[in-house]
A and B are shown apart, each in its own frame.
Chain A
Amino acid sequence: MPPTVKVMRRPEGARTSYLRATLKGMALTFKHLVNPNKVTLQYPEEQPVLSPRWRGTHRMEVHADGRPKCVACGLCPTVCPSNCIRLVGGEDDQGNRFPIVYEIDEFRCIFCGMCQEVCPVEAIHVGVHFENAEYTRDRFVYDLDRLMEQEHPTALLWDPSDPRSE
């Protein structure tokens, strides 16, 4: 079938009014010019309101004595779809497992939040946080100490019984 061209008829000459349309437009732009309600967020001074379910860079929860809550079960590196978590687990004298190495490559991470979802002891969390700028690339691999230092709030998980967080 040959391509067909749809011809759009413009309004007839007598029905168009450039002048009136322009004056209307000028009035509209003037209204916006003097309108004090701007949509711009003055960012460093004003912070955006993030959703409680916002999934940002991770943080590791710690016990009162400063140890990480992680028990090195290995579920998070297993579930991680982008394979960005490196975990080497160890065991102390009482048989408690703990992470020797726990690194998250935030460049590889897709912030799906499945690590938080899968964690049996609620140790690893994604955070409500977005200011992650660094001067070098290697600073984006967060090690265990760095993860434990983070102080931003942690993300709420989606609750199937309350799907709209009401």
Chain B
Amino acid sequence: MKSIQVFAPALCCNTGVCGVDVDQALVSFSADVDWAKQNGAQIERFNLAQQPMAFADSATVKAFLERSGAEALPLILVDGEVALAGRYPNRTELARWAGIAETVEVKPQGGCCSGSRCG
């Protein structure tokens, strides 16, 4: 089983509803992560505002932040290698990385990009 790590920008809510415009990608992604976990995937989510040490401890993530800044998050690592950056993966991608045979119809991916923030 491959391990998926999601390094997300600073958020106070995982759904991002506190942001200036609710990011459909985040709302959907939260549900997709839930789905993938129930199907046995190994996924860890790290929030920059809550677990910054996880970002600092990974040479890959740290270098990414130095090069591209927090605006370029999220960053997704699969077994430590960069798999995706700048947007959240959709259900199909999660399933592929985790090796889940998809029996559920994959719903379309919503919007992208706007980092939702709150306090």
Bound pair: A and B? no
